[in-house]
Structure 1
Amino acid sequence: MDGKEKFSRGKWPWECNGEGCRVGMPWLFQSLFNAGKVITSLASNNSQIKLKAAAAPSKLSPEEQGEAEERALALALATKKEATLLEFYSPRCRLCASLANTVAEVEAKNGEWLNIVMADVENKAWLPEVLQYDIKYVPCFVLLDTYGTALAKTGTPASRLHVLTGLSYLLESMWPIRKAMKPVQSSDDTSPNQGR
């Protein structure tokens, strides 16, 4: 066999030794082949992730979503924290969606005295609150005290900055109230000098 015959069968003449020729790829093609393997494995993993997401439970129905949000408000008021911030939003509102991370940060930062509850204005379950607090725009934040009484709400949103400024004013308005509130000692508490 000459080198031409070996090459025509798909074998490279420089990979031959005394025992025969080894079928293989040149190093340049081997690196491309390895890259193709990586891409293929990523694509198959990605399709598995998509399949898992498709098998995950579907979103809540509007009724279930409304009930969950109403339970969140009831729980927030039951905790007797100093304030609850009720955020009225619409799932179709891009400004509302852009505030999600900021609202989560506000809740994490002020969680010891503040609860934040989301309320979808497009959900019929929130119609009484929408009417009660005169919600005509979204996003709209309503500040509630410990007993659920509305203290203030943000104005008509002209921009993201305008909404964030209104939210900041609502939170700042609680400082005098928070300073005036003093912890009430229960009858179980005894001072160290009481028995002497």
Structure 2
Amino acid sequence: MGPFPKQPLFCLKWPWDTQQNPNSPNLCTFDGPWIFKSLQNLGSVAFNLVTSVSKSTYPSLSSDKPSQFDAGINQSQSLKSRKLTLTPEEQAEAEQRAFASALATGKEATVIEFYSPKCRLCNSLVDFVSEVEGRNLDWVSIVMADAENEKWLPELLHYDIKYVPCFVLLDQTGRALAKTGVPSSRLHVIAGLSHLLKMKRPLKTNR
């Protein structure tokens, strides 16, 4: 069996492109689509998270995750704590309000990070993403969207989100410009996000 093809850092092809160019190759096709979990699984995960808080050691989130997803255990508490204090409906409403507010600011760009509370790679990026937004707060807003929450289903379909983490770059009008590719490692995702930001970073802030 041959080696896996190298994944692109970010994607410039969208679902609606296939209608206009059905024969064009899609470099962003994911052979093994990320399967959205059922609401029953969400209830099971919430119970496991509550149980994990009472333990002195941090339990493994999934035994079948690659070892590269094990980084950033401390950062993962941020996403999990929000899931413990808010219902799925409240969580989605808070995230969607943040998204609407970000677009209303009129900044040069907005980035949506689609994540899963159970994704170790997503959790390991929490501090990094916060730091990136802090350094570029004058021209970009970064908002989060729980890909397992059904309230985000229209956006998941619109942006063709089949894996997490996935960052989508929007311009001032809310039009999607690009998104990060299928994640193969933490460094791969960081490089993809950096490329997205370079696409819209104002010239005056370039170093």
Match 2:132 to one of 82, 102, 106: 106
User: Larger C-alpha radius of gyration, 1 or 2?
Assistant: 1
Match 2:162 to one of 136, 145, 162: 136
Alignment of 1:78-89 (within 5 A): 78-89=104-115
Structure 1: distance between partners of 2:198 and 2:172: 16
What does residue 178 of structure 2 align with? Answer: 152
What does residue 74 of structure 1 align with? Answer: 100
Give 1:136's aligned amino acid: K
Structure 1: distance between partners of 2:109 and 2:175: 10
Give 1:143's aligned amino acid: L
1:131-173 per-position Cα deviation (integer Å, ceiling 9, x unaligned) = 0000000000000011110011000000001000100100111
Coordinate RMSD, CA, aligned: 1.2
Structure 1: distance between partners of 2:190 and 2:86: 29
TM-score (norm 1): 0.60
Is residue 96 from structure 1 mapped to residue 122 from structure 2 by the alignment? yes
Gaps of 5+ in 1: 1-57, 181-196
Structure 2: distance between partners of 1:75 and 1:93: 26
Structure 1: distance between partners of 2:200 and 2:100: 21
Match 2:197 to one of 167, 171, 192: 171
Structure 2: distance between partners of 1:68 and 1:90: 16
User: 3-state DSSP class of the match of 2:164?
Assistant: coil
Is residue 117 from structure 1 mapped to residue 143 from structure 2 by the alignment? yes
Structure 2: distance between partners of 1:174 and 1:146: 10
The structure richer in helix per residue is 1
Structure 2: distance between partners of 1:95 and 1:76: 24
Gaps of 5+ in 2: 1-83
Aligned length: 121
Structure 2: distance between partners of 1:67 and 1:61: 10
Give 2:107's aligned amino acid: K
Structure 1: distance between partners of 2:199 and 2:139: 13
User: 3-state DSSP class of the match of 2:145?
Assistant: strand
Structure 1: distance between partners of 2:120 and 2:99: 24
User: 3-state DSSP class of the match of 1:173?
Assistant: helix
> 1:174, CA displacement in angstroms?
1.1
> 1:179, CA displacement in angstroms?
3.7
Is residue 162 from structure 1 mapped to residue 179 from structure 2 by the alignment? no
